[in-house]
Amino acid sequence: MTMSNQAPQLLLDILPAPAPTLDNFIAGGNGEALAALRGIGPGRAIYLWGPAGSGRSHLLAAAVRAHPGAVLCGAATPAREFVALAEGGVPLVAIDDVGRLDERQQAAVFGIYNRWRESAAAEQRGFALVVAGDSAPLRMPLREDLRTRLGWDLVFRLDLLSDADKLAALHAHAAARSLDVTPELLEWLLTRHARDMRQLTALLDALDRYSLATKRPITLPLLKTMLAAQPRPPAD
**pLDDT 10s digits, 100-158:** 999 999 999 999 999 999 887 765 568 999 999 999 999 999 999 999 999 999 999 99
pLDDT at 140 (0 to 100): 95
Reported pTM: 0.77
Average pLDDT for the chain: 86
Dihedral through CA 212, CA 230, CA 6, CA 223, nearest 10? -20
Q: Residue 122: in which H helix or E strand, if any?
A: none
Tell me: the pLDDT tens digits for 180-228? 899 899 989 888 866 677 778 888 888 998 999 899 999 999 999 988 8
Rounded to an integer, what distance in angstroms lies between the CA atom of residue 49 and that of residue 102? 19
pLDDT of residue 236: 46
* Confidence band for 35, pLDDT divided at 50, 70 and 90: very high
CA atoms of 184 and 167, how far apart (whole Å) = 11
Q: Predicted confidence band at 45 (pLDDT cuts at 50, 70, 90)?
A: very high
Contact 169, 197 (CB under 8 A): yes
Please state, in angstroms and rounded to a whole number, the distance separating the CA atoms of residues 71 and 74.
10
Across 23-43, average pLDDT: 93
Confidence of residue 7 (pLDDT cuts 50, 70, 90): very low
For the chain, give the percent of residues with pLDDT over 70. Answer: 87
12 has pLDDT over 50? no
AA letter at 41: G
